[in-house]
């Protein structure tokens, strides 16, 4: 039997790398997508290949329609199948600005990468998954969106990011409804404060908040924490839960008195 294949966007750094590594350890062949050229990520690709599977690198900006099409055709030509799509690629605003001052340019940039790109990548991949399902009743596939606690926790200094993640959360529900008839579940994983290069600039702030009791589990999250949640969903450990949101936030969003 051929190995299952997973596509992880933004899969060579931060949370995306944690996801890629966990899926590779679970025996998947990988297609990983990123904006950097391949020589810049060769060490990361080598680490993933050392786990034992094939790794195809697709240089692409998910906000670009032509680039998304190239990713899809590259996977079809090189790997011939796709079982799991993980929409992980995302960006923060270049500058945190109060919503009274934030620019349309920043809003458009963040939403194109964080919402429009994943929405239409999912459309293309979903159509291919449906065809794979029609061709083989044994086909098993799923789609997993990586959102953020910012889907529901308001941060007025980065409103465009919050809106993009709230939209991605609705995208999960929409695709879960649409693909239900084909037996293709769609899930959302919602990380909290995860230690990555993206959060390095606010490390001191969150160190203090965590020490003061912000979280029920008093530590930073790791990319592997998110990767393990994704791997469980991809394996089918929650087979009766399409549309579900899996929290990976250390209890940050649990309401307390």
Q: Which CATH superfamily is domain 5-248 in?
A: NAD(P)-binding Rossmann-like Domain (3.40.50.720)
Q: Is 161 a catalytic residue?
A: yes
pLDDT digits (tens, 9 = 90+) for 235-246: 999 999 999 999
pLDDT above 90 for 2: no
- Average the pLDDT over 212-221 and give the result: 98
pLDDT digits (tens, 9 = 90+) for 150-203: 999 999 999 999 999 999 999 999 999 999 999 999 999 999 999 998 888 889
Q: Where are the domains of the chain?
A: 5-248
Q: Catalytic pick from 161, 182, 187, 206?
A: 161
Asked whether 217 and 250 are in contact (CB, 8 A), the reply is yes
Asked whether 151 and 166 are in contact (CB, 8 A), the reply is yes
- Average the pLDDT over 22-39 and give the result: 97
Longest dimension (CA), the chain: 56
| 253 phi, psi to nearest 5 deg | -90, 5
**pLDDT value at residue 132:** 98
Contacts (Cβ under 8 Å, ≥6 apart) of 90: 10, 113, 114, 146, 148, 164, 165
**pLDDT value at residue 197:** 87
| 30 phi, psi to nearest 5 deg | -125, 145
Residue-averaged pLDDT of the chain: 97
Contacts (Cβ under 8 Å, ≥6 apart) of 93: 102, 106, 109, 110, 158, 160, 161
Contacts (Cβ under 8 Å, ≥6 apart) of 216: 250, 251, 252, 254
């Amino acid at each position: 039997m051929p190995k299952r294949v997973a596509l992880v966007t933004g899969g060579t750094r931060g949370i995306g790398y944690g996801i890629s590594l966990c899926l590779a350890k679970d025996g998947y062949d990988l297609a990983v997508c990123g904006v950097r050229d391949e020589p810049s990520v060769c060490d990361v690709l080598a680490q993933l290949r050392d786990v034992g599977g094939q790794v195809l690198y697709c240089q692409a900006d998910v906000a670009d329609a032509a680039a998304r099409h190239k990713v899809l055709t590259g996977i079809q030509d090189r790997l011939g199948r796709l079982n799991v799509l993980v929409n992980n690629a995302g960006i923060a605003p270049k500058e945190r600005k109060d919503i009274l001052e934030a620019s349309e340019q920043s809003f458009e940039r963040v939403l194109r990468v964080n919402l429009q790109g994943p929405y239409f990548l999912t459309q293309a991949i979903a159509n291919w998954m449906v065809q794979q399902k029609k061709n083989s009743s044994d086909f098993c596939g799923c789609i997993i969106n990586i959102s953020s606690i910012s889907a529901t926790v308001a941060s007025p200094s980065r409103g465009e990011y919050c809106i993009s993640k709230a939209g991605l959360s609705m995208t999960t529900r929409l695709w879960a409804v649409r693909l239900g008839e084909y037996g293709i579940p769609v899930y959302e994983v919602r990380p909290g404060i995860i230690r990555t290069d993206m959060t390095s600039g606010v490390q001191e702030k969150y160190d203090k908040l965590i020490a003061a009791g912000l979280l029920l589990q008093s530590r930073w999250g790791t990319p592997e924490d998110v990767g393990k949640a994704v791997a469980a969903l991809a394996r089918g450990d929650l087979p009766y839960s399409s549309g579900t949101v899996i929290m990976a936030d250390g209890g940050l969003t649990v309401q307390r008195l």
